[in-house]
Amino acid sequence: MRAQLEYFFAALRFFTRLPVPAWVGHSDAQLNRATRYFPLVGWIVGLIGAAVTWAAAWVLPLSIAVLLGMAATLLATGAFHEDGFADSCDGFGGGWTKEDVLRIMKDSRIGSYGAIGIGVLLLTKWNALYELDDSLLSALLAAHPISRAAATTLIYALDYVRDEDGKSKPLAVRIGGGELATAWLFGLLPTVLLGWLLSWQLALQGVLAVVAVTLLMAAYTRRRIGGYTGDVLGATQQLAEVFFYLGLLCAFS
C-alpha cells in the first residue's frame, strides 16, 4: 500500500506544483510505475478548478469565475501541459522532417505557431466552459481525469522517440494493458458520475470526443515522428480536455 502511495505522490509531484510528503523520496523508477495514477492527479486539478470557479461565481460574473478557475489549474500544474501543447504546435507547424520537429520542440522559446496555438486553445476552453453553464463544475471534474487517461494511452501505444534525456524520459517505459486499464478506470469514474447526475448521452458524447482526438493524435504523431515525446503527451491532454467540453456541447437533433 505504501508503494502505491509513493507512485501516486510521484505522479502528483511530476505533473503539478503541489506539495507531497517528504517520505515519498524521488526516483525515475517510481515515476515509471506511476502512470496508472495520472488520471488521479486530474481529479485533484479538476477539483481545484471547480472549487475556485464555484467560489468566484458567488461574487463575480460567471465569465470571470471561469477565467479564475482556469488560472487556478494553470498555477496548480505550472502550465505543464499547456507548455507541451505550445511546443508541439511549434514543432509540427515549423518542422518538415522528424529531426526538425524534435529540434524545434526542444527549443524553450515560443514561436508563432505556439503562441497562436495556445491562444486559440485557451480561448476555446474558456468559451466552452462558459457555455456549459449549469454543467460547468461537473465538466471540470470529469475532463481533467479523462484527458490524462488519453495521454496515458500514447505511452501504451507508441514509442518514446527522443534518444537523449527529456522531461518525460522517466515515462518512456511502455506500460502494460493492466496499467492502461487502471488509468482509464480512474479517468472514466468522474464521467460516469457526470452521466448519472446530468445525462448519459452527454457523458457518452464527451467520451467519444476524447477517444476520437486521442486516436487522431496517436496516428498523426506516429506518422510525423514515429512516436511520442513529453510535449506530445501534454498536447494530447490539452486537446482531450477541450474536446471533452466540446463533446458535451454538441447538440444532435
**Structure confidence at residue 126 as a pLDDT band (50, 70, 90):** very high
pLDDT at 36: 87
Indicate the Cα dihedral angle 157, 162, 167, 173, nearest 10°. Answer: 40
3-state secondary structure of 108: coil
Q: Please say whether the dihedral angle defined by the alpha carbons of residues 120, 122, 126 and 128, taken in this order, is positive or negative.
A: positive
CA–CA distance, 205 with 208 (Å, rounded to integer)? 5
**Structure confidence at residue 83 as a pLDDT band (50, 70, 90):** very high
Does residue 230 have a pLDDT over 80? yes
Residue 221 burial (CB count, 10 A): 24
Does residue 173 have a pLDDT over 80? no
* Phi then psi dihedrals of residue 220, to 5 deg: -65, -45
| Residue found by looking up cell 522517466 in the block | 170
Cell numbers describing residue 67: 477565467
Q: Of 57-66, 139-148, 161-170, where does mean pLDDT reach its minimum?
A: 161-170
Write down the pTM of the prediction. 0.93
pLDDT at 172: 54
Q: What is the mean pLDDT of residues 190-212?
A: 92
pLDDT at 169: 53
Does residue 170 have a pLDDT over 80? no
* Spatial contact of 87 and 115, defined as CB atoms under 8 Å apart: no
pLDDT at 253: 43
| Residue found by looking up cell 501504451 in the block | 156
Q: Of 16-20, 141-145, 210-214, where does mean pLDDT reach its minimum?
A: 16-20
Does residue 86 have a pLDDT over 90? yes
CA–CA distance, 45 with 147 (Å, rounded to integer)? 12
Does residue 166 have a pLDDT over 70? no
pLDDT at 125: 98
Phi-psi region of 142 (alpha: psi -120 to 50; beta: other; left: phi over 0): alpha
Distances (CA, A) of 67 to 8, 49, 142, 220, 251: 29, 10, 18, 31, 25
Q: Please say whether the dihedral angle defined by the alpha carbons of residues 168, 49, 75 and 29, taken in this order, is positive or negative.
A: negative
**What are the pLDDT digits (tens) for 28-82?**
667 777 888 999 999 999 999 999 999 999 999 999 999 999 999 999 999 999 9
Cell numbers describing residue 36: 496508472
